[in-house]
């Protein structure tokens, strides 16, 4: 459900969508200032998906934004062009100091390189400026372009408090196919800094050392706070360096430069859009509890021979093999990989010793990677789709028909029997020889 801002039905029941604005110093009146011109229209939605669906149906290239409305992280979503949102937001800025707006960094959309830097000041006596200088220098070297701090090359926004150092950095001339690739590049930057001097990038958090670069902000459809906004319930706003006073004046140029998705024309997109290089999605929850961790069968084949074949096509060229495969839950095939293939999207390279997992989700017809390395605990890569020659033949209806045929013939459902009937029934290429 959505409602267009410049409509006569603004005070109908649909106006409930604008509840968050009603609670923010009369910001609802700002919505009336948007013209009826479609190019300047803002619409609001309860869910992110509804906002995506609306934005994608329009002839104009609409962007998706979010507004945080309570301390639990609940949001409302808005659609509008950069021009429309800027007009709306600039009016809001003139009326209120308590705004909680974010841009949505949509998956598979161009993204500037960005960093979210943070650490607790009480636990760290750091030279922040030296660390940021080193970070920018490392980016310049890896990107192979000159980048100078305190110029239009770099936008720095600060929301540091007495308790926490917090800064966003956005690079105007370094952009990628999407923010997943930006995250892979950020991992490389952190790794280089660690090799150079651990003190340039690692900070204390409780009783352990972590990077002061938050590597968890490169997930799909990420909500990233915009200039002059604060988190809900907080007073620290993201502001330009050396800003003073309560009131803030943000130019349209700074607003656009500070956005992650507003990539300039002419800026080359970096990265490789192939599935294996695009599968870094950092999720810090562990999908298996200690009791649920799968035990791998010694068999090197599953009940889905074409999926086995696809896995082999990924790992065999680099000396990998299948150590074992097991079923987890209703839809997951978990492949433990052995041998030379140890590629982990979390670090962007092959591990030296620890092995990896490739997981096939038969429900969504996609795959992703996980890892045995302790430093990658809880990591899950971005999913990528299985090729059509697999998904065309492993539908649930097909599998049920196969099982019915075997049972009608009085046979047991063994790996070999099911594989043979699948090959015959679907008239496809046989699986990769084991």
- The percentage of the chain sitting over the pLDDT mark of 70, rounded to a whole number, equals 73
Largest alpha-carbon pair distance within the chain? Answer: 82
Neighbours of 238 (CB within 10 A): 21
pLDDT for 135: 97
Across the chain, mean pLDDT equals 78
Cβ distance 102 to 231 under 8 Å? no
Tokens representing 309 are 């074949």
Q: Is the pLDDT of residue 88 over 80?
A: yes
Q: Is the pLDDT of residue 7 over 60?
A: no
- Where does residue 103 fall: left (phi above 0), alpha (psi -120 to 50 degrees), or beta otherwise? beta
Tell me the pLDDT tens digit for each residue of 332-373.
889 999 888 988 888 778 888 788 999 998 888 888 899 887
pLDDT for 273: 56
Tokens representing 340 are 């030379």
Please tell me which of 101-105, 200-204, 289-293 the model is most confident about, judged by mean pLDDT: 101-105
Tokens representing 255 are 């607003």
Q: Is the pLDDT of residue 209 over 80?
A: yes
State the Cα–Cα distance between residues 96 and 118, nearest whole angstrom: 26
Q: 102 pairs with which residues across the strands? A: 66, 225
Tell me the pLDDT tens digit for each residue of 154-202.
999 999 999 999 999 999 999 999 998 999 899 999 989 998 998 999 9
State the Cα–Cα distance between residues 383 and 277, nearest whole angstrom: 11
Residue range 62-83: mean pLDDT, rounded: 93
Instruction: Report CA-CA distances (Å) from 375 to 56, 284, 371, 398.
Output: 38, 11, 9, 40
**Every domain of the chain and the residues it spans:** 2-96, 111-273, 305-426
pLDDT for 351: 85
Q: End-to-end alpha-carbon separation of the chain, Å? A: 52
Residue range 283-294: mean pLDDT, rounded: 34
CATH code given to domain 111-273: 3.30.70
Sheet holding 384-385, edge to edge: 320-328, 332-339, 356-361, 366-371, 384-385
Task: Note the pTM of the prediction, 2 decimals.
Answer: 0.61
Cβ distance 385 to 368 under 8 Å? no
Tell me the pLDDT tens digit for each residue of 368-396.
899 887 778 778 888 788 887 776 544 44
């Amino acid at each position: 459900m959505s409602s267009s801002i410049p409509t006569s039905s603004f005070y109908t029941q649909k106006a409930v969508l604008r509840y968050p604005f009603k609670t923010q110093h009369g910001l609802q009146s700002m919505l009336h200032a948007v013209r009826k011109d479609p190019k300047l229209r803002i619409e609001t939605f309860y869910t992110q998906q509804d906002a995506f669906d609306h934005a994608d149906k329009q002839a104009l290239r609409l962007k998706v934004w979010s507004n945080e409305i309570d301390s639990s992280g609940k949001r409302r979503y808005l659609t509008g062009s950069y021009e429309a949102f800027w007009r709306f937001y600039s009016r809001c800025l003139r009326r209120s100091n308590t705004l909680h707006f974010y841009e949505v960094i949509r998956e598979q959309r161009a993204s500037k390189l960005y960093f979210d830097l943070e650490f607790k000041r009480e636990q760290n006596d750091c030279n922040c400026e030296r660390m940021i200088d080193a970070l920018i220098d490392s980016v310049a070297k890896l990107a192979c372009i000159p980048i100078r701090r305190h110029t239009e090359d770099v936008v720095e926004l600060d929301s540091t408090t007495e308790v926490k150092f917090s800064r966003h950095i956005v690079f105007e001339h370094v952009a990628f196919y999407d923010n997943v690739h930006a995250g892979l590049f950020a991992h490389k930057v952190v790794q280089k800094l660690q090799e150079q001097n651990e003190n340039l990038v690692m900070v204390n958090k409780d009783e352990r050392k972590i990077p002061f670069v938050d590597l968890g902000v490169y997930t799909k459809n990420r909500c990233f706070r915009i200039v002059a906004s604060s988190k809900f319930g907080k007073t620290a706003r993201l502001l330009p360096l050396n800003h003073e006073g309560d009131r803030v004046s943000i130019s349209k140029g700074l607003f656009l430069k500070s956005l992650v998705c507003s990539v300039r024309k002419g800026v080359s997109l970096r990265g490789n859009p192939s599935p294996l290089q695009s599968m870094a999605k950092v999720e810090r929850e562990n999908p298996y509890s200690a009791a649920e961790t799968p035990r791998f069968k010694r068999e090197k084949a599953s009940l889905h021979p074409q999926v086995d074949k696809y896995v082999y096509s990924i790992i065999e060229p680099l000396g990998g093999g299948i150590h074992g495969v097991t079923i987890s839950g209703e839809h997951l095939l978990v492949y433990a990989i052995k041998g030379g293939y140890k590629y982990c999207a979390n670090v962007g390279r092959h591990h030296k010793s620890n092995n990896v997992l490739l997981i096939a989700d038969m429900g969504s017809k996609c795959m992703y990677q996980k890892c045995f390395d302790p430093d990658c605990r809880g990591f899950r890569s971005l999913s990528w789709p299985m090729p059509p020659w697999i998904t065309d033949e492993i539908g649930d209806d097909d599998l049920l028909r196969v099982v019915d045929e075997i049972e009608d013939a009085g046979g047991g459902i063994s790996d070999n029997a099911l594989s043979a009937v699948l090959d015959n029934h679907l008239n496809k290429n046989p699986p990769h020889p084991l």
